[in-house]
Amino acid sequence: MSGTATRTGARHSQPFDLGSFLENGTALVNKGLDRYLPKATAKPATIHAAMRYSLFAGGKRMRPALVLAAATACGGDPADALSHACAVECIHTYSLIHDDLPAMDNDDFRRGKPTNHKVYGEGIAILAGDGLLTQAFEILAQADTTKRYPMKDLILELAKASGSLQLIAGQVADLEGEGKPIDPAQLRYIHERKTSALLCCSVRLGGMSANCTPDQLAALTAFGYNVGLAFQVIDDILDVTQTSEQLGKTAGKDQAAAKATYPALLGLDESRKIATRLTTKAFNALKPFKGKAAALEALARYLLQRDR
């Protein structure tokens, strides 16, 4: 429990220092990724340079932070969740590289830098994404396992979240929905898969690294699902309200591509209300942790209020 004891024995709880948590977590994860990935000079050097280019381009590292925070909530050591955190970030970065390709969203900027295919060409960018996808499983396969969760469970967790029923399904529905009228149910289907699945997987893997109980895993699942949906609603809002410089990627793309988004379907005010409601549901899911989930709570609050 965080807080200082007074002379009467009562405790004044101190606000969780999310800044330090994120700084330390990012440093740990960056070091891990650097260690797990082949050196940029490893032959063939182009592919390894390209994989590292997008991985170290300055992403917010929110998914790894969720892994580490969930591990902490379940009484684990964040260091034991490092492989899980690095694996999730590799999947996420692969999906961004492929999403930016001309055949998909055709974006020139990502993480404040020219996109992978703009620097290395389309062929290498496709392969860099493939390399990171495969690398994710190589990294996760090196994780220490716990009594309740053998390696099979970890691999299945990541494979399912990033496979054709989740992450890829979301992307397919997104591609096929462009320019067509979409109802809120279909939009939720896309957001659940394109975004929420990997955020949910992140907290579940964090819990598994700490040998969480089935009840804790269920609570993390509910938290991750709701935070994941809120994250995408906020992402939709930021696409409308922020500049490309603020976001580090091209703003206004959703409208330009006639994509269905929460603001397009329901307006900005209603979208903000939905994001707040989802975050409240996420907070409520943390009740079984009885105050031990301060990092997860702070992250959920930050993700709701973020401006990039």
| Chain residues in the site for ligand GRG (CB under 6 A) | 59-60, 62, 92, 95-96, 98-99, 111, 167-168, 170-171, 194-195, 232, 235
Q: How far is the CB of 91 from ligand GRG (least distance, A)?
A: 9
Residue whose CB is less far from ligand GRG, 140 or 229: 229
Q: Are strands 11-12 and 4-5 parallel, antiparallel or unpaired?
A: antiparallel
**Which token pair is 304?**
């709701």
Q: Tokens 């699902």 sit at which residue?
A: 225
Helix (H) or strand (E) holding 114: strand 113-114
Residue whose CB is less far from ligand GRG, 191 or 204: 191
* Rounded CA separation 158/253 (Å): 29
Residue whose CB is less far from ligand GRG, 210 or 264: 264
Q: How far is the CB of 171 from ligand GRG (least distance, A)?
A: 4
Classify the phi-psi angles of 116: left when phi > 0, otherwise alpha if psi is within -120 to 50, otherwise beta.
alpha
Residue nearest to ligand GRG (CB): 59
Q: How far is the CB of 199 from ligand GRG (least distance, A)?
A: 9
Q: How far is the CB of 14 from ligand GRG (least distance, A)?
A: 28
* Rounded CA separation 203/67 (Å): 5
3-state secondary structure of 110: strand
Q: How far is the CB of 75 from ligand GRG (least distance, A)?
A: 27
Q: What is the maximal distance between C-alpha atoms in the chain?
A: 67
* Rounded CA separation 184/189 (Å): 9
- DSSP codes of every residue in 247-264: HTS-TTHHHHTT---HHH
What count of other Cβ atoms lies within 10 Å of the Cβ of residue 5?
9
Q: How far is the CB of 7 from ligand GRG (least distance, A)?
A: 45
Q: How far is the CB of 86 from ligand GRG (least distance, A)?
A: 13
Residue whose CB is less far from ligand GRG, 200 or 210: 200
Residue whose CB is less far from ligand GRG, 32 or 59: 59
Residue whose CB is less far from ligand GRG, 11 or 306: 306
Tell whether the torsion through CA atoms of 196, 201, 207 and 213 is positive or negative: positive
For the chain, the residue count is 308
Residue whose CB is less far from ligand GRG, 170 or 207: 170
Q: Tokens 């063939």 sit at which residue?
A: 44
